[in-house]
Amino acid sequence: MASIADTLRSTYDSGHTRPLEWRRRQLEQMKRMLEENEAEFLDALRTDLGKPAVEGFITDIAFVTSELDAMIKNLRKWNKPERVGTPLVTMPAKSHLVPEPLGVVLVIAPWNYPIQLLLVPAAGAIAAGNCVVMKPSEVSSATSAALGRLVPKYMDPAAVAIVEGGVPETTDLLGQRFDHIFYTGNGTVGRVVMAAAVANLTPVTLELGGKSPVIIDESADLRVAARRIAWGKWLNAGQTCVAPDYILVPESKQDALVAELRTAIGEFYGEDPHLSDSYGRIVSPRHFDRLESLMAGGTPAVGGDTKSDERYIAPTVLVDVDPDSQLMAEEIFGPLLPIIPVTSVAESIAFINARPHPLALYVFAENKSVIDTVLTRTTAGGVTVNGTLMHLTNPNLPFGGIGESGMGGYHGKAGVRLFQHLKPVLTRGTKLDPSIAYPPYTARKAKIFRRVL
């Protein structure tokens, strides 16, 4: 690990990654890698997560190529110095913010979207002019192996490295000096990453999780809400950091919402989702066992079926939820959807605010004042109104958490800026050099200073 870090440090110090053409070429090569090896990547995703090919293409291939296209198109503009105002006291002068790469970046990815969540931040670091070490998750081992074989084949090995392995390899990497660490995963490991970064005062970005709530208002269109919730919840069998974690719904609407969710599940996955080609599997036996135990926190109103030998858990809607159960204490990260009845939007807001800030929040309402109230009185990493997940698909909206759900944001321009220092530069002219700026400080100068400062 020290050798890898030293090699990349030497490359960066040589100025190798500074030219925009080098950055453009690397981004183009990353896109080419995905396009030319799409079938292998989709097979790996199916092996790791039972991920349907269409879903894998949308979330792990097309999502990344879309980000790459935006970075390639805007590379020059996003790396151009920005002119800013200059106060009178400094004249004659002009001021700029100059984007400057940080150096050598470490990106540690999770297993749930193992291509997207590795390559999108790595692409931002490359577009910013950095060297990068990529660390894919060992849990999604087939995808990790594919990336481990293909990244050195397509990317510049002097500036872009990939390290496979588990906890020992990650621990060794965290012992090296980096200029930025980007970690996506859970809060427990996030704290380990942050503690390791302290040794070198390395800035970190933590993309964590949390219990992302859904608020259903009396004015909501329940059929549309159910379909959009069902899509966002059971995509990747619920193993999505911004998946709806629980629903807060008016008591009078609970039965109708459950019925609409049952209908949506049937439309999406058929009468038996186990037979559906559009529904995935749980990543490992350990995660399967955890999710199966969480089901005890409520009563299945829809689903509830499991098959341990296939790591299959049906799309499940839970009612009569125990608020003190583990189901409501930890991020579910699976296909279980608790429904909690409330008496008002105010009660929903109080319920959310009594807990750590979520990574995402969703509100379904036709009443604009309700939407405005929720947006004003809650805090979350990001929000989609009358939908789920979609805010993270817009490259013009930074994606990230707040508090327990993370720190820092990326995607699009924000994903490039994250790995840069905006260096303030003030340039003064020399043709004018007024003596008023220098001692001795006379009464006349003091009067002028008070007028202009």
Residue 434 lies in a domain: no
192 plus 332 within the same structural domain: no
Q: Are residues 275 and 346 in the same domain?
A: yes
Closest CA to 308 of 324, 322, 295: 295
User: Using CA atoms, how far apart are residues 59 and 120, in angstroms rounded to an integer?
Assistant: 12
165 with 261, same domain: the answer is no
Quickly list DSSP for 203-259: -EEEE-----EEEE-TTS-HHHHHHHHHHHHHGGGG--TTS--EEEEEGGGHHHHHH
Residues 217 and 197 in one domain: no
24 Rama sector, left if φ>0, alpha if ψ -120 to 50, beta otherwise: alpha
Residues 186 and 220 reside in one and the same domain: no
| CA 288 to chain CA centroid, nearest Å | 24
Tokens at 97, concatenated: 């913010």
pLDDT of 435 reads 86
Residues contacting residue 150 through CB under 8 Å, at least 6 positions apart:
33, 37, 40
**Digitized pLDDT (tens) for each residue of the chain, 453 residues in all:** 999 999 999 999 999 999 999 999 999 999 999 999 999 999 999 999 999 999 999 999 999 999 999 999 999 999 999 999 998 888 889 999 999 999 999 999 999 999 999 999 999 999 999 999 999 999 999 999 999 999 999 999 999 999 999 999 999 999 999 999 999 999 999 999 999 999 999 999 999 989 999 999 999 999 999 999 999 999 999 999 999 999 999 999 999 999 999 999 999 999 999 999 999 999 999 999 999 999 999 999 999 999 999 999 999 999 999 999 999 999 999 999 999 999 999 999 999 999 999 999 999 999 999 999 999 999 999 999 999 999 999 999 999 999 999 999 999 999 999 999 999 999 999 888 888 889 999 999 899 888 887
295 burial class (0-12, 13-18, 19+ CB within 10 angstroms)? buried
| Residue 430 resides in a domain | no
The domain total for the chain is 2
Q: What amino acid is encoded at 311 in this protein? A: R
Cα dihedral across residues 159, 163, 167, 171: positive or negative: negative
Is residue 446 a part of any domain in this protein? no
pTM of full prediction above 0.75? yes
Catalytic residues: 207, 241
User: Which residues constitute the domain of residue 59?
Assistant: 2-208+406-425
227 with 263, same domain? yes
Q: Tell me if 221 is assigned to some domain.
A: yes
CATH of the domain at 289: 3.40.309.10
Confidence (pLDDT) at 67: 96
Residues 6+ apart with CB under 8 A from 324: none
Q: Specify whether the CB–CB gap between 177 and 202 falls below 8 A.
A: yes
Say which CATH number the domain at 38 has.
3.40.605.10
- Same domain flag for 106 and 125: yes
In a shared domain, residues 382 and 419: no
Biggest CA–CA distance in the chain, Å, is 89
Burial group, residue 192, by CB count within 10 angstroms (0-12, 13-18, 19+):
middle
Tell me the sheet residues that pair with 312.
Answer: 307
Q: Are residues 268 and 333 in the same domain?
A: yes
Nearest-angstrom CA–CA distance, 39 and 146: 11
> Is there a domain that residue 130 lies in?
yes
Query: Is 323 inside a domain boundary?
Result: yes
Q: Evaluate whether residue 262 is within a structural domain.
A: yes
Report residue 130 as tokens.
Answer: 């950095």
- Residue 62 structure tokens: 């097309």
Q: How far apart are CA 366 and CA 349, in angstroms?
A: 17
> Residue 247 has what pLDDT?
98
* 73 located within any domain: yes
Residue 450's pLDDT is what? 87
Residue 317: DSSP 8-state: E
pLDDT for res 436: 84
Is there a single domain that holds both residue 154 and residue 232?
Answer: no
Residues 273 and 416 grouped into a single domain: no
Give how far Cα 275 sits from Cα of 281, 374, 400, 426, Å: 12, 39, 35, 65
How many whole angstroms separate alpha carbon 187 and alpha carbon 168? 19
